Amino acid sequence: MRSVFSLFLVVVIAAAGCLGGNGKQASPSASPSTAAGSNATAAKEMYVVATDVSSQPTTWYRFSKSAYTFKANDKINVTLKNAVGDINQHALIIDEFNVKLENVAVSDSKSVIFTATKAGTFKFYCNVGNHRTLGMEGTLTIS
Ligand SMILES: [Cu+2]
């Protein structure tokens, strides 16, 4: 008899747990037309590090990785981390998607989420001084 009662308790608790879960889901799914859909998907990471790859000035001012590929309509969380150990601030600009991460100080980082609304090959670059000319440029491919 006791074991039946225990089983009954377990069932009640399990049922309560299910109800609680449903209760939590009720509010976001109440407006599926706005909450669900493409915006519900997590943003993809585009993590870019500004780095000085050697002690030679000719290879200062680089992005750690210079090519990224995503799909059209991907939501992209782009981050610029400034890992260059000098006093320079750096930036990451993507003109076509109006991305501007500017004044990123040493050891600092900035992020912004944008949607890759068009396919193509685009440049991202640092707009500080002549950094782009020195090599702070990369390619973003949206397929
Ligand atoms: Cu720079």
pLDDT > 90? residue 13: no
Ligand 1 mean position, distance from CA 115 (Å): 24
Query: Is 52 found in the same domain as 118?
Result: yes
DSSP-derived secondary structure letter, 127: -
Ligand 1 centre distance from Cα of residue 76 (Å): 21
67 in the same domain as 16: no
The candidate with the shortest Cα–Cα distance to 76, out of 124, 29, 33, 35, is 124
For 105, the domain range is: 42-142
pTM of the entire predicted model: 0.69
Residue 129, number of CB atoms within 10 A of its CB: 13
Q: Residue 131 Cα, ligand 1 centroid: separation in angstroms?
A: 5
Asked whether residue 7 falls in the same domain as residue 52, the answer is no
Q: Is 135 left (phi over 0), alpha (psi -120 to 50) or beta?
A: left
Same domain for 25 and 51, yes or no, is no
Tally of domains within the chain: 2
pLDDT for 24 beyond 50? no
56 CA → ligand 1 middle, Å: 16
| Whether 124 and 70 share a structural domain | yes
Q: Please list all protein residues whose beta carbon sits less than 5 angstroms from ligand 1, which is an ion.
A: 90, 126, 128, 131, 136
Which class for 115: exposed (0-12), middle (13-18), buried (19 or more C-beta within 10 A)?
middle
Per-residue pLDDT tens digits for 50-66: 987 666 666 678 898 99
